[in-house]
Structure 1
Amino acid sequence: MNMTLWNEKTKGEGSLLPPVMGLFEHLHEVEELGEGGYSVSAQGGGDLLLPFAFEEMLCRDVGAGLVLPSLHLWSHPGGVALGLRDSKLPGAARAMDKLESRGIRTAVRHSGGAAVPLDAGIVNVSLILPKSQGKLDFHDDFRLLATVITEAVAVSHPKAAAQIVAKEVVGSYCPGDFDLSIGGRKFCGIAQRRQSQSFFVHAFVVVSGSGLERGELIRSFYEDAAAGEHGLSYPQVRPETIAGLGELGGPATTAAFCSGIREALARRATELIPSRRLQQETGYKLDYSDQRVKDAAGVLRERYSQL
C-alpha cells in the first residue's frame, strides 16, 4: 500500500473517535543543544515499563467503563523497548547490559513490533478505545491513528503532511505495513495491544533530533544481540532510512507536534478532557505513581522478559 494520507478519507473514520476523550500526558523536556540540535541520548530515568503498564491499566479501565476513551501522549528520557523476539536473540542480555551501562534503559514490551528507541524527542501517541461490537478488521485502527498523525502534522506543516506515505520502509527499525515516511525515510511506526473489552493502538513519532543516530543505536543493538550468529531473523536496520519530522520539513519540536495532535482531534469535534479535570469531575485518577501501575509493571517484567 502506497497512499498519501493527507488527502485520504477513510470510510467511517469520523465515527471511530468518540466526541469526548480523556487526555493523559507524560512528556519530558527535550534538551536543546543549539544550532537546531537536540539530545537523543539523554540519560535514562525511571522504569521504562511504567508507560506500558499505565496504558495496560488505563485500557482495562476504559473497557470496564470506569473512564472515558483516552489519548495518551508520552515520552521517556532515554531507553530502548524490545519486542519479545528481540529478547530471545542469543546475545540479547549482553546487548541490553551494554545499553544500560550507557544510561539507556531497556525493557521488553508487550505490544507488537521490534526494538525501538525512546527519548525526549520521540512522542508516543496512544488511542485507548473500547471494542466495537462486530468489528473485526484491526487495520482500521492503524489507519485511524496514521490519519490522525498526518492531520497533526498538517496543522503546522501542510506541505510535509501531503507527502506522508503509509507503507513499510525496508531497512527501518520495527518495520510494518503502517510505517509513516516522507521521501522514503520513516518517522513513525504503529503497533497495537488488544484486551477483551478494549484496545490501544500506539505510535512512536520521531519528532526532533537525528534519525540516523537513532537508527545506528538500534542497528548496533542487533549486531550485539546476534552475537556473531548467522541466519537469525531480526530487522536488518539501515540507519539512513530513519529521520525526524524536523529533518523532513515537519514540526521540529515535540511541543509543536503535540499541539498539532490536540488540534487535529479538535477539528474532528473530539473534546479532550485533561486528567486533572477528569479527576475533579469524575473522581477517576491514574498515574505512574499509583501502586496498581507499579504492580502491573512488575507483572509485565516477569511475564515478557526472558532474560
Structure 2
Amino acid sequence: MSMLHQPRWRIIDQTTLGPSFDAKQSFAIDDCLCQSVGKGDSPCAARTWVHHNTVVLGIQDTRLPHLKKGIEHLHSQGYKTVVRNSGGLAVVLDEGVLNISLILPEGEGHISIDDGYETMTRFVQNMLKSYSQNIEAREIVGSYCPGRYDLSVNGKKFAGISQRRLRHGVAVQIYLCAEGSGTERAALIRDFYKASLDGDHTPFAYPIVRPEVMASLSELTGCPISVQDLMLHFYNTLSQFGELVPSQLTLEEASDFQGFYERMVERNEKALGNL
C-alpha cells in the first residue's frame, strides 16, 4: 500500500450533490484532477461521488447491434445512460452505490495497471475490515463488467474497479454497492444486454449476466450499510496514510473542467446521438 502513503490527500466529496449531478461531469472532473496531479499542481486526490439511477456504458457497449432497444429498456426503468471514458462495460449507479476515485501521479516511476488495481483493492479491504468479511479480488463470472479485480465475498461481487490514465495522472475508480439489491441491479443489466443483442451473435463476447452472483454489502454482511457509513470508513482509513485536506476544484481546474466536460458531451453524442 506504499502508494497510499502520502504527505497529504486532497479530498473532494461529491456524494450529496443529488440527482442533477450528471455522470458526464464526474468523468470530466477525474480527467481534470488527473491533469493537475500529473503536472504536480495538486497533491494526490481522493474523490467520492454518487449518481442517481444511471447506467454507465463502456465503449464496447456502444457497438451492440441493437443498442437502441437496450437504451429504451433502461429508460423505461427510469435510468439515464452515459458512456464513460475509462475501461470496462455497463455498470449500475444509484443512491446506494458509493464511487471512489484515487488520483495518483505517475511521477518518475511507472504505475502499472496492476499497481493501480492492487492499491485500490488493499485500500477497500482495509476500509471494510471492521465487517470481518473475507474480501477476494478475482473475476466473478456472470457479474456485469467482469474483471480480474472484481471484489467479492463468498463468490458474490459487490464492487468493480476501472482506471483512467491522462497526462501523467492515474485515476483508479471503484463502485461499492452499499445497500439495495445486487440481484435487481444485475437483472437490469442482463435485460439490457438481452434487448441490445436481440438474439444476434457478435465477435465480442458480452457478459452473460447471472443476477444471483451479485450482492450489496448490506446483503453480504446481514447488517444495514449506507453510503454515509462507508464514507466514515473512507475518512478513517485514508487518514491513516496522510493528512486529509478538504477541497474543491481550483479556479484553474474549474476552467479546464469545461473543456473536459465538452469532450464527454461530444463522446456521448457521437455514441448515442443517433439512437
Do Structure 1 and Structure 2 share a fold, with TM-score over 0.5? yes
Q: How big is the shift at 1:62?
A: 1.3
CA displacement at 1:17 relative to structure 2 = 3.4
CA distance in structure 2 between the partners assigned to 1:182 and 1:259 by the alignment = 21
Q: Which AA in structure 1 matches 2:178? A: V
Counterpart position of 1:51 = 26
Specify the alignment match of 1:41 in structure 2. none
Instruction: Return the offset for 1:238.
Output: 0.5
Q: Deviation above 6 Å: which 4+ runs of structure 1? A: none
Secondary structure of 1:49's counterpart equals helix
String of CA shifts for 1:131-175, please: whole Å, max 9, x gaps: 032325320111111111111111x42x12xx1111100000000
Please tell me whether residue 14 in structure 1 is matched to residue 2 in structure 2: yes
Letter in 2 for 1:182: V
1:185 to 153, 156, 165: 156
Match of 1:209 in 2: 180
Match of 1:134 among 98, 104, 109: 109
Q: Which residue does the alignment assign to 1:306?
A: 271
1:152 aligns with one of 127, 131, 135? 127
- TM-score, normalising length: structure 1: 0.81
Q: Does the C-alpha gap of structure 1 residues 136 and 129 become closer, same or farther in structure 2, counting only changes over 3 Å?
A: closer
Give, in whole Å, the separation in 2 of the partners of 1:136 and 1:66: 19
Deviations along 1:80-128, one digit per CA (max 9) or x if unpaired, are: 0000000110111332233234431101101010000010100111100
Change (3 A) 1:211 1:76: same
Residue 92 of structure 2 is aligned to residue 117 of structure 1: yes
Identify unmatched segments of 5+ residues in structure 2: none
Determine if the alignment matches structure 1 residue 108 to structure 2 residue 83: yes
Task: Give CA deviations for 1:164-204 in whole Å, capped at 9, x if unaligned.
Answer: 11110000000010111001000011110111311111111
Structure 1 spans left out of the alignment, 5+ residues: 1-12, 31-43
Task: Provide the C-alpha distance between the structure 2 equivalents of 1:251 and 1:128, rounded to a whole number of angstroms.
Answer: 29
**Could you tell me how far 1:291 is from its partner in structure 2?**
5.8
Letter in 1 for 2:238: L
Task: Please report how far the alpha carbon of residue 224 of structure 1 lies from its aligned counterpart in structure 2 after TM superposition.
Answer: 1.1
Letter in 2 for 1:223: K
Specify the alignment match of 2:169 in structure 1: 198
> Pairwise CA RMSD of aligned residues?
2.2
Q: Identity over aligned residues, as a percent?
A: 35
**Contact 2:22 2:51 (C-alpha < 8 Å) held by counterparts:** no
* CA distance, structure 1, for counterparts of residue 215 and residue 115 of structure 2: 26
Are positions 1:242 and 2:214 aligned together? yes
TM-score, scaled to structure 2: 0.90
Q: Is residue 146 of structure 2 the alignment partner of residue 175 of structure 1? A: yes
> Are the equivalent residues in 2 in contact too, given 1:206–1:245 (CA < 8 A)?
yes
Contact 1:45–1:78 (8 Å) recurs in 2: no
**Contact 1:107–1:301 (CA<8 Å) still a contact in 2?**
no
* Distance (whole Å) between structure 1 residues aligned to residue 256 and residue 3 of structure 2: 32
Return the match for 2:189 from 195, 207, 218: 218
More off after superposition, 88-97 vs 253-262: 88-97
CA distance in 2, matches of 1:134, 1:48: 31
Following superposition, the deviation at residue 58 of structure 1 comes to: 1.3
Conserved in 2, the CA contact under 8 Å of 1:48 and 1:105?
no
Q: Would you say 1:271 and 2:243 are equivalent positions?
A: yes
CA contact (8 A) 1:27 1:75 kept: yes
1:50–1:294 CA contact under 8 A, matched in 2: no
Q: Distance in 1 between matches of 2:21 and 2:211?
A: 27
Matched AA of 2:266: E
> How many correspondences in the alignment?
269
Question: Could you tell me which amino acid in structure 2 is paired with residue 298 of structure 1?
Answer: E
